[in-house]
Amino acid sequence: MDSVFPIRLVDAKPLAPTVFHYAFVRSDGNALDFIPGQFIQIHFDYADGTPAKRSYSLATIREHSLEPGEAVEFAVSFVEGGRATALFQNLQINDEIRCSGPYGKFVLNERDTNERYLLIGTGTGITPYRSMLPQLEALMGRGIEVVLLQGARTREELLYDDDFMSFAAANPNFKYRPCLSREDISVDAPNVKFTHGYVQSVLAELVPTPGQDVAYLCGNPNMVDACFAALKEYGLSTQFIRREKYVSNV
Ligand SMILES: Cc1cc2nc3c(=O)[nH]c(=O)nc-3n(C[C@H](O)[C@H](O)[C@H](O)COP(=O)(O)OP(=O)(O)OC[C@H]3O[C@@H](n4cnc5c(N)ncnc54)[C@H](O)[C@@H]3O)c2cc1C
């Protein structure tokens, strides 16, 4: 049985045309400690009273454990006819919803001895990497390189773009690679290079190499499968390709 607790909405803002950023605080006064990359589940009932839950990756930039009163952040992509989507669209500031977690193993592994991380995400699948930024900064301080590939159709659909741009400007070992399938632009910013195409198209340039690279793939299941197959072709073994697929858990 999940331990379910209430969270109260304190902020909501659009990130992209159909994606919202939400910030909640636990209203029972307890802390919500989590490891960057983990997700929570939101519990609600369908119109006929059937209990349901949906998963959301935490986006909070996590420098330390979350103390009581600190924001629990995540991004929700609205899907047409979506039951949880309707719940979020109708939320007002100070409304409470039910939550459990955190869950999941899509986290950085202290035992890795790789030289480079390839972090790949599309849509809200980029949010775990926002949460990992302080951990990544510490790793880069030890000489590890990080390449973040964010896939979207257009620049306005990129999520947390400002956070990743400023992180790239401050950290020479962090390369930010937005990949736009429907827009061909270039932006003059330190350690940032835009690509016209899918995230997979950048892999040939990066030349993933066994022993050197550990990859994380998150978001759209088709993208995760395509990148997984491509990385296997480059010789990476399954244990060094970590995956989180955003499938609907009805
Ligand atoms: C581990 C994990 C982490 C996740 N993290 C996030 C996250 O951080 N942010 C986020 O927005 N979602 C995330 N998801 C997906 C999320 O849990 C829901 O599945 C999603 O919000 C849709 O729920 P819904 O109730 O609105 O739609 P539903 O009522 O479940 O579905 C309505 C219709 O939309 C279709 N549909 C469902 N999902 C999608 C989709 N992604 N794209 C297109 N059509 C879809 C369904 O097939 C159905 O036809 C995650 C899923 C998993 C398993």
Q: Please name each of the domains of the chain with its CATH number.
A: 5-103 (2.40.30.10), 116-245 (3.40.50.80)
The pLDDT value given to residue 9: 97
Q: Is the confidence at residue 107, as pLDDT, over 70? A: yes
User: Cβ(247) to ligand 1 under 6 A?
Assistant: yes
User: Cβ(22) to ligand 1 under 6 A?
Assistant: no
Nearest CA to ligand 1 atom 28: 82
Nearest CA to ligand 1 atom 48: 82
Q: Is the confidence at residue 248, as pLDDT, over 80? A: no
Work out the pLDDT band at 71, boundaries 50, 70, 90: confident
Mean predicted confidence (pLDDT) in 23-52: 93
User: Cβ(55) to ligand 1 under 6 A?
Assistant: yes
State pLDDT tens for residues 169-188. 999 999 999 999 999 999 99
Average pLDDT, the chain: 94
Given CA atoms 71, 77, 80, 84 in this order, what sign does their dihedral have? negative
Tell me the C-alpha distance between 215 and 212, whole Å: 10
Mean predicted confidence (pLDDT) in 87-110: 96
User: Cβ(57) to ligand 1 under 6 A?
Assistant: yes
List 67's β-bridge partners, or say none: none
The pLDDT value given to residue 250: 45
Work out the pLDDT band at 249, boundaries 50, 70, 90: low
User: What tokens appear for 126 in the block?
Assistant: 């980029």
